[in-house]
Structure 1
Amino acid sequence: MQIELVTSTPDFDALEPDWRALEDLTSRNSLFLGWDWQRLWWSHYGQGRQLRILVARIGGQVVGIFPLYLETHRAFRVLRVRKLRPIGAGGDTAPDDLGMVFDPTHEQAVSCAFVDHILHHVPDWQLLDLVDLSADSALVACFAQRSADASETIERMPVNRIIYGDLPPDWERYRQGLSRDRRQALARYRRKFEQLPGAHFRQVRQSGEIDEAFDCLAALHQLRWKGRTQELSFTSPQYLGFHRGVMHALQAHGRLRLFSLELEGKTIAMLYGFRWGQTFYHFQGGFDPAHAGLSPGQLLMAYAIEQAIGEGCRTFDTLKGEYGHKRHFFQQTRETLGLRVHRPGLIHWLYRLKARVSGHRELTEPVPLSEARSATLTPNPVAEEPRA
């Protein structure tokens, strides 16, 4: 196996055919590691950062890609830290399911080769800051194997819990799996909405509709959350440009799912999601608070689930954020976690000191990778929060 380090944008672009071929080999190659998401993220957020993409080849054939970048981060106000981070993480975006894109036949070998190459052959970094790795991924296992004999300190960071559900083959079976109160509530929401003049559930299907729909989604999200959170999405030029581009790119491949609720031709709620393999991913949404009495968020979620079942999806994934409203629809949970690798020196010592003196040690204290259980972040069990 040969490992190549890609550091230029032209060489990044040259990977597209191999990248697209890999991403279709297994559903575990997530949407957030797909070519469209990764390349667009770099276009909008790459300024001031340096590419460090690892490419694994066997006999000239690409069998794995680990997309990383190097940035200089100011820590403790005075020190500069050279961080190695995954493409897709950083700026005002909140990724899910990062790591590497790979040929499943060679997953273990590629993972361990990447880990060894990062630890011994990638120069310049002081802190490797990986996020949103699947808890059962081969990458995590390989870092665990190396933790005992590596000169670097390898730590496991707090877990993110993600709510999802396996979908039955038809909507009625899904409904029957809900509690009686939830079934009655959804039926009431739908009946109330559908009796109104011009009530309509619609999917954006034409590329010519995307820009107008995107603007509407951004406006509804702002309207819904302005004054209720300081972490609004759809605010920065980078975020707006990135997601507009993502929508167009995914629509071209039949992967965009953009739904709306309309009353007499006016959009009152929108849901932004994706279809990737046999999974529907719910990413973002918004609604006009003037119509909060219709419960548009829950109503649109129910329509989206019904649509996903009708398409033959086997899983509905609500992505990061263990919020109470998601539990109205699904009960299954999966986990992603972060890894931090510190090279020996002052920076490592200061990070550990900061964790020890923090007033919120349960949230910030790194946990050794060798421990069976990691610390967990405490979610808000009720609030319906936005995601960035």
Structure 2
Amino acid sequence: MRVELISQRAEFDRLGPAWNALLAEDAACPEGMDATSTHEWAGALIDAFLDDGQWMIVVASDARGVCGILPLYWVKYGGTAPDSDALAVLTELNGGRNGLLVRAGSADTLNAMLDHLARQVSGWDRLLFRTTLGGRSNRMLDELAGNHGRRVVRSEETTSPYLILPADLDQYLRALSQNFRKETQRRERRLRDMGTLDLQIIDGAAETDTLWNAIIEIEKTSWKETAGSSITAKEREQRFYPTLLPRAAAAGQLLAGLLLLDERPIAYCLAIRFGDTAIGLKTSYVEDLSSQSPATVLRRLYFDALAQRGVRAYDFMGACEPHKMRWTETAYSVALYSVFNSGLRGAVARLRHQAKARLRRGLIRA
């Protein structure tokens, strides 16, 4: 096996097919990775947020080709002291159901990559990343700790909802909540009484500017604008999504929904897909039609459109908020992991981490 470290954009660009092939091995919802682990997503993160020298990719290859990819960037963890430097997988900048891009979930390959990283890159005490609990990456970490003696610590945990799209959405909603089903139908009828209601599925590169302009128009007239949580209030999101959309569309991953009333955009769902799973990145609607729940109507029409396009699952992402849990009763959990450097620096960081954890537990008991 050959392991190398790359940091040039041209080398990164050549990894695209191998990168997404590794992802395709482990991309089933809910335990596998999602479209935020693609090569296109990583490229958008680099271009939107990182300068040269802030990122690197550990690449493992064998006779069959690329067998492991670990995309990293430098972060500060737990403070600004010189000894708090860490490396994190790129999706810590923005991600979803992520994991480790290693062929067949081989802990031996991952261990070789970490050994190479420790030899070639100095100054880091831990590697940070998130994985879906119960998935292949979790099993890889268990083997990494058990068979290779790596120090692996799990900390933060979050839960997000997902929906396995039913063959008959109307029947599914009837069983889930008769009241919710009837309410959704009533809202749709009222919107149709107000004018021509149309759902557009936007998936082409030529449509990304139109989509982005509609998103901004809706965000500016949504409740989020007043609350300060709209895309227009978040500089990072304004940098990232216009960078992502053309890449995702060119790769066949864009799958957004736009609801129009008499050609006016009134709600959107910005989503991307990989394999048979779509993930919802952002959703909003215009405030003046809030009484008609345009976002709920959009989702009802959008889920039917997804099923027609061969999508099996929809990941709502984010917290299990009430408006999401009206559609589903299922959820997955993601945890933050630290794999500590095997040298002295990593040992000191691990002891410090354990001391802080004990202190927090003591404060909670007190």
TM-score w.r.t. the length of structure 1 is 0.80
Match of 1:375 in 2: none
Give 5+ residue unaligned stretches, structure 2. none
- CA separation of 1:340/1:29 partners in 2, compared to 1, >3 Å: closer, same or farther? closer
Match of 1:263 in 2: 261
Q: Distance in 2 between matches of 1:358 and 1:226?
A: 36
Alpha-carbon offset, residue 8 of structure 1:
3.0
Match of 2:189 among 188, 191, 210: 191
Match of 2:55 in 1: 51
Match of 1:18 in 2: 18
Q: Does 1:110 align with 2:109?
A: yes
What does the per-residue CA deviation read over 1:27-86, in whole Å, with 9 as the maximum and x for residues that have no partner?
Answer: 345311211111121111112753331212121611221211234x27545545221001
Q: Distance in 1 between matches of 2:243 and 2:80?
A: 35
* 1:344-359 correspondence to structure 2 within 5 Å: 344=346, 347-358=349-360
Letter in 2 for 1:89: E
- CA separation of 1:146/1:281 partners in 2, compared to 1, >3 Å: closer, same or farther? closer
Match of 2:72 in 1: 68
Match of 1:39 in 2: 43
Q: Please give the secondary structure, in 1, of the residue aligned with 2:152.
A: strand
Give 5+ residue unaligned stretches, structure 1. 363-388
- CA separation of 1:236/1:80 partners in 2, compared to 1, >3 Å: closer, same or farther? farther
Match of 1:84 in 2: 87
Letter in 2 for 1:5: L
Letter in 2 for 1:276: F
Q: Please give the secondary structure, in 2, of the residue aligned with 1:84.
A: strand
Match of 2:224 in 1: 225
- CA separation of 1:225/1:49 partners in 2, compared to 1, >3 Å: closer, same or farther? farther
Alpha-carbon offset, residue 353 of structure 1:
4.6
- CA separation of 1:333/1:138 partners in 2, compared to 1, >3 Å: closer, same or farther? same
Letter in 1 for 2:166: P
The farther-off stretch of 349-358 and 267-276 is 349-358
Alpha-carbon offset, residue 235 of structure 1:
4.2
What does the per-residue CA deviation read over 1:306-359, in whole Å, with 9 as the maximum and x for residues that have no partner?
Answer: 111222322121123221211100111222111023444665555445445559
Q: Distance in 2 between matches of 1:85 and 1:74?
A: 10
Q: Please give the secondary structure, in 2, of the residue aligned with 1:64.
A: strand
Structure with bigger helix share is: 2
The farther-off stretch of 117-126 and 178-187 is 117-126
Number of residues paired by the alignment?
355
* 1:271-310 correspondence to structure 2 within 5 Å: 271-310=269-308
Equivalent residues of 2:91, 2:129 under 8 A apart: no
Q: Distance in 2 between matches of 1:117 and 1:135?
A: 27
**Percentage identity across paired residues of the two chains:** 19
Match of 1:167 in 2: 165
- CA separation of 1:349/1:100 partners in 2, compared to 1, >3 Å: closer, same or farther? closer
Letter in 1 for 2:71: P
What does the per-residue CA deviation read over 1:149-182, in whole Å, with 9 as the maximum and x for residues that have no partner?
Answer: 8787531012221211222223343333322112
Letter in 1 for 2:90: I
Q: Does 1:144 align with 2:142?
A: yes
Equivalent residues of 1:29, 1:101 under 8 A apart: no
- CA separation of 1:80/1:287 partners in 2, compared to 1, >3 Å: closer, same or farther? farther
Q: Please give the secondary structure, in 1, of the residue aligned with 2:317.
A: strand
Letter in 1 for 2:88: R
Q: Please give the secondary structure, in 1, of the residue aligned with 2:176.
A: coil
Alpha-carbon offset, residue 199 of structure 1:
2.5
Letter in 1 for 2:68: G
TM-score w.r.t. the length of structure 2 is 0.84
